[in-house]
Amino acid sequence: MGIMRLSHVEIRVPDLELATAYYTEVLGLYETAREPERVFLKCWDEQQHHSVVLSFAPTYGLEHFGFKVTEREDLDLYQAILEAQGISVKRYVDGEWGPGHGEAIRFATPSGHQMELVYGMQQIGNLLPLTNPPPKPLGLVGIAPPRIDHLFLTVEDVKVNTEFFQNVLGFHLTEQVMGDDGFQIATWLEVSHASHDIAFITGQDGGFHHVAFWVDDWNDLRNAADVCAYHGVHIETNPTRHGATRGYCLYFFDPAGNRNEVYTGGYYIDPDAEPITWTESEMGRAIFAYDGVVNQKFLTVHT
């Protein structure tokens, strides 16, 4: 019952062909549907119809993001909760928003991000049979992450947005960077027993910092860096480690300038665990544990 995990992101791109080529051949996602102005993509191990939607637009950034709920009734429940808070909710019937999309409710978070809760997206299967499957498909192209992992957004008021996700949507705070003035600079929240499913950092409302894809281990991060370098993709941060979440990461940009991450590691967490706190003086290490210095480009560049 309730919200399960990050389902999908809709990313704005000014060149749909170029973006599709990057997301399928460099990142290694699979195209599952195409319209004149939208391309639907999934990672190889995902059962659901899409986890990334590229939408033609004269700009870049995040158009909307969706979390998957476990039951249809969860949509009614959250619609009632949101409307009781005075938040207007738009409802989509099954398949209305796009091919295979399922039933959804759409609303704005306090930071003005368009968020969706979705139920019943069409299951088209991963690339493996359900009887005697091999552990992975052969011939995957590019980085080929098995699944989408998490989302990182910029918001003007981290505290307000964090409380909204905790109190209204039932997320659990795992880590936070506290400023010397006592305000949250950044927060990490989970709803799937992972170290984080969504995170916020102080910045512009509605901003898109990055979307992350899961890879199996540190070796796969090195392979991902090789693939990015081979294709001339702009790598922002080499394979390194986060202090917050303890995960391993590689950051790079899609051709439209949206930041992507491949991520692995981190920990498994129970919902009753107390959050970890980073102080402002240790913020560099919270973000990049090996460098330990605050990287202004990483903190300020977003789409």
Q: What mask of x and - would describe binding to another protein in positions 96 to 125, judged by CB under 8 A?
A: ---------------------------x-x
Q: Which of 64, 68, 113, 150 binds another protein (CB under 8 A)?
A: 68
SS3 at position 52: strand
Using CB under 8 A as the binding rule, whether residue 181 contacts another protein is answered as no
Taking only Cα atoms into account, the Rg of the chain, rounded to an integer number of angstroms, comes to 18
The most distant pair of C-alpha atoms in the chain lies apart, rounded to whole Å, by 57
Using CB under 8 A as the binding rule, whether residue 38 contacts another protein is answered as no
Q: Which of 15, 17, 21, 47 binds another protein (CB under 8 A)?
A: 47
| Residue closer to another protein (CB basis): 68 or 196 | 68
Using CB under 8 A as the binding rule, whether residue 134 contacts another protein is answered as yes
Using CB under 8 A as the binding rule, whether residue 73 contacts another protein is answered as no
Q: Which of 76, 80, 96, 275 binds another protein (CB under 8 A)?
A: 275
| Residue closer to another protein (CB basis): 178 or 235 | 178
| Residue closer to another protein (CB basis): 48 or 109 | 48
What DSSP string describes 104-125? Answer: EEEEE-TT--EEEEEE-PPB--
Q: Give residues with Cβ within 8 angstroms of 212, minimum separation 6.
A: 148, 149, 150, 151, 152, 249, 260, 261, 262, 263
Residues designated catalytic: 150, 196, 210, 242, 251, 261
For residue 175, what are the β-bridge partners?
Answer: 188, 276
Q: Which residues of 228-249 are buried (b: 16+ CB within 10 A; e: fewer)?
A: beeeebeebbebebbbbbebbb
Distance CA 7, CA 283 (A): 29
Question: What does each C-alpha distance from 47 to 8, 157, 253 come to in angstroms?
Answer: 12, 35, 26
Using CB under 8 A as the binding rule, whether residue 138 contacts another protein is answered as no
> Which range binds another protein by CB under 8 A, 151-159, 197-205, 237-245, 250-258?
237-245
Query: By the criterion CB under 8 A, which residues form the site for another protein?
Result: 1-2, 4-5, 45, 47, 68, 70, 123, 125, 130-136, 146-147, 192-193, 214, 216-219, 241-243, 246, 264-265, 267-268, 270-279, 282, 285-286, 289
